[in-house]
Structure 1
Amino acid sequence: MRIVVTGGAGFLGSHLCEALVRRGDTVLCLDDLSTGRLENIEHLRHLGCEFVRADVTRPIDVTGDVDAVAHLASPASPPDYLRLPLETLAVGSRGTENALRLARQHGARFILASTSEVYGDPLVHPQQEDYWGNVNPIGPRSVYDEAKRFAEAVTTAYRGLSVNTGILRIFNTYGPRMRPCDGRVVSSFIVQALSGEPITIYGSGDQTRSFCYVDDLVRGLVAMIDSTEAGPLNIGNPQERTVRELAELVLSITGSSSAIEYFPLPQDDPTRRQPAIARVQGALGWAPEVPIEEGLRRTVQWFAARPDAVAAAARSLRGAQSDPERDRAATDPSPAQAHLVSADERAVPSRA
């Protein structure tokens, strides 16, 4: 199959591109590199993965066959979507519509990578797909939450136009290729532990998350591409842990002596998060397999092999991520990434 992956140079997107290439698919990776990195896919570019630097909020024109479109493009961590609020809204709205138009034009399967954030700070636990959520539409997280809720709505509308669409609601995912400075709880804790900096916990640490290793998550994405399921389907690890337990586990795996510091909980930060996965188990035969201890060991090894990036991220995390300018400097792609994009990569290539 020939599969278009938007956001394919990002954390999840690059792992999906790799899984598809390794099973024999041809992949067209679209990414504007606002949060993605070329190094994530460099090893794939001679294995059937084409890269195009493209902004999917503009019309997408791909010639040749397209069998599936996986729409993963979006800033996905709070520091990213808070510094890119309008871009986040645009990629969730115009970007999703453009990706859907591409799928409709080619008669292709369309997969939306939605998020557990559509449930907001849930009043129902665990979260099942028929729960409508508890979302603040004007809160600080709304640019991401509402962009994804709109993306689900427009994906559902296109299914009514006979487009073969599917929606996956992705819960917290972690693993190699996470950006050390992305501000997510797993990457932040690992960076701080490896650097000997205090571990930053917001709130009491009793709030819960459910962490899914990236290899497991990508198996579910591939299975969804191959199916005709409409969804929405939750996909994530239902094993619930407190944020404090995660911090203690990271300290144990790294052998770090970092202290734990507590800061106020950000507005609208969910207090409990756990997916109900009976539907995805029944529809796709999917369930997570990698224990969190093993997944964290692999992730720590990946971070430890990049000491310069870890040291830079540690400086941006020091003192509870409270400096927007410092965060922007740490999270913006480096100029070195931009010059790697050649002129012929700025237009979508043809494929017979």
Structure 2
Amino acid sequence: MKKRVLVTGGAGFLGSHLCERLLKEGCEVLCMDNFFTGNKANIIHLLDNPYFELIRHDVQQPILMEVDEIYNLACPASPVHYQFDPVATTRTSVLGAINMLDIARKCKAKILQASTSEVYGDPEVHPQPESYRGSVNPIGPRACYDEGKRCAETLFFDYKREFDLEIKVVRIFNTYGPRMHPDDGRVVSNFIVQALKGRDITVFGNGLQTRSFCYVDDLIEGIVRTMNTDREFTGPVNLGNPEEYTMLELAKKIVELTGSKSSIVFRPLPEDDPMQRKPDITLAKKVLGWEPTIGLQAGLEKTIDYFGERLNG
């Protein structure tokens, strides 16, 4: 009997890669997406697979189904998209979590929440361990995403305590790779698209703020390993690459790899933009036996190839 697995946000960047991985592992996959940021092109090659089913549905609305596992990835994840309709973003995180937790409770299914490093806000602790409770502005322009994800984590742990639900929570740090949306406002896709088009590369602030970049294949491996842990392990667990780069270093690396003639220009820093972001992955190493294996240069080369084909297609 094949395991029946629901992936919400399954047509998105991460969701589509996860659907592929689960099909390869012999699962029956239900991909749910409302296509606000998801793209049918990301999963078009899966539609002929008899064990793949696409469901057009918004997680804000209740739905009934029978499943064995749920990966809850549904939510706009880039500032451009989650600030476009901040109320809907919060509703997606909060109501989406409630609706998926209710399915898991009814089916006695295992459920994983894709949380985010944004729960740490602009951190006062560096690198960020899971025990750090964060420094988040609850009324700022990013709060719809940050606080929505924090509330979703609350709900997951309350459902565990109240209903003995089997839950997993992963906190995802910056991830990049093929199928990123070219206009999502994230730094890797922004820089690559600007470089390939020969436009100025826009760096916010002085470019000395740091991020850590995890290639998508490594991230998916970490998510699947988390779902497959013993019932006692709930997380939250950080998943990300602990190698840290400044925005200026990233911009220069992408100019070099693309052979672009683009200039680097500076723009004002957005409100509440964190100055540092780096995961402490001690827990992931210990419990999951996981750490990233794909370095920044190798991952960027694959991502640049993808965007090159997409922009010329």
Same fold (TM over 0.5): yes
**1:59 — aligned with what?**
62
| Kept in 2: contact 1:239–1:274 (CA 8 A) | yes
Counterparts of residues 53-202 of structure 1 (less than 5 Å): 53-63=56-66, 66-160=67-161, 161-202=163-204
Q: Which residue of 1 aligns with 2:268?
A: 264
CA RMSD of aligned residues (A): 0.9
Q: Report the equivalent of 2:252.
A: 248
Write the deviation string for residues 235-274 of structure 1: whole angstroms up to 9, x where unpaired.
Answer: 0000010010000110111010100000010110000000
Query: Aligned ranges for residues 42-57 of structure 1 at < 5 Å?
Result: 42-47=44-49, 48-57=51-60
Q: Which runs of at least 4 in structure 1 moved beyond 3 Å after TM superposition?
A: none
> Are 1:240 and 1:274, in contact at CA under 8 Å, matched by a contact in 2?
yes
Aligned residue identity for 2:55: V
- Does the Cα contact within 8 Å between 1:21 and 1:44 map onto a contact in 2? no
| Aligned residues of 1:200 and 1:261 also touching (Cα < 8 A) | yes
Deviations 1:192-250 (A, max 9, x none): 00000000000000000000000000001111121232000000000010010000110
Q: Cα deviations across residues 9-58 of structure 1 (Å, max 9, x unaligned)?
A: 00000000000001111100000000000110111122221000001111
3-state DSSP of counterpart to 1:83: coil
State the AA in 2 paired with 1:6: T
Give distance in 2, aligned partners of 1:246 and 1:304.
Answer: 18
Structure 1 stretches lacking a partner, 5+ long: 310-352
Work out which structure has the larger RCO, using CA pairs closer than 8 Å and 6 or more positions apart in sequence.
Answer: 1
Paired residue type of 2:31: C
2: CA distance between counterparts of 1:110 and 1:307?
Answer: 37
Cα distance, 1:300 vs. partner? Answer: 0.2
Letter in 1 for 2:219: L
Give the length in aligned residue pairs.
Answer: 307
What amino acid is aligned across from residue 285 of structure 2 in structure 1? Answer: Q
In structure 1, the partner of 2:298 is: 294
Matched AA of 2:234: A
For residues 61 and 256 of structure 2, what CA distance do their matches in structure 1 show?
46
Inter-partner Cα distance in structure 2 for 1:108 and 1:220 = 20
Of 282, 285, 309 in structure 2, the residue corresponding to residue 305 of structure 1 is: 309
Q: Distance in 2 between matches of 1:46 and 1:157?
A: 39
Per-residue deviation, 1:308: 5.4
> How does the TM-score come out when normalised to structure 2?
0.97
Aligned residues of 1:172 and 1:212 also touching (Cα < 8 A) = yes
